[in-house]
Chains A and B, each alone.
Chain A
């Protein structure tokens, strides 16, 4: 049972480099989410996708782009990495209808350091 799979698990980048974080789920969920987790702060929503073909900004979208490639995959791209984007990134998915009433399933996280 794979659930939500994130790659890579760790990454170190230099300021200005770009990279894409990959996320895939095998639970046939419509809703997918990207969060970042920083010390002393709760998980914060970067972008979410309520269904295939749609994406919406969350609380902290600046510096990121996303692609809902198909129902299974939701990628997060940093076009020009900045030290402020050093964080742990989590992908999650949930079923619908009423995604707020469905449990969220999380990936294992990606630890990203920007030097």
Chain B
């Protein structure tokens, strides 16, 4: 049973659109991570959040601990943002990570 849920599974956007990807989880966590998987398969870490909000360039990540929910926003989307975005959580117990199934984003010029 996958306890990390992402939505939507697939997303197509026009270049310049504002994009939101959502992640919900079922129990208390110590941290939540957003990852990006490029079409070639490589995975890079974008953000680690335990509270509040973080911003890096056109990417913004927020987390609401009480609602067990996080969002990843992309402002002024660009075709190079096309990738799979993965949410991962580290539970309060232990150092293991559990991953969502990912959101596949395609940005059309």
Contact = CB atoms under 8 A, between A and B. Distances in A.
B48 interface: yes
Nearest to B44: A106
Contact of A104 (B4, B97, B101): B97
Given A42-B100, A45-B96, A101-B48, A106 B86 contact: no
Contact of A42 (B41, B90, B99): B99
B29 to A, nearest CB: 8
A8 B86 CA distance: 24
Given A104-B33, A105-B45, A99 B100 contact: no
Given A101-B48, A102-B48, A109 B42 contact: yes
B7 interface: no
B41 A100 contact: no
A59 B41 CA distance: 22
A101 B45 contact: no
Interface of B: 2, 4, 30-31, 33, 35, 41-45, 48, 50, 86, 88, 90-91, 94-102
Given A99-B90, A103-B33, A103-B45, 6 more contacts: A40-B101, A41-B2, A43-B97, A105-B45, A109-B41, A109-B42
16 contacts: A33-B97, A42-B100, A43-B86, A43-B88, A50-B95, A58-B96, A100-B30, A100-B97, A101-B31, A101-B50, A103-B33, A104-B33, A104-B45, A106-B42, A108-B41, A109-B42
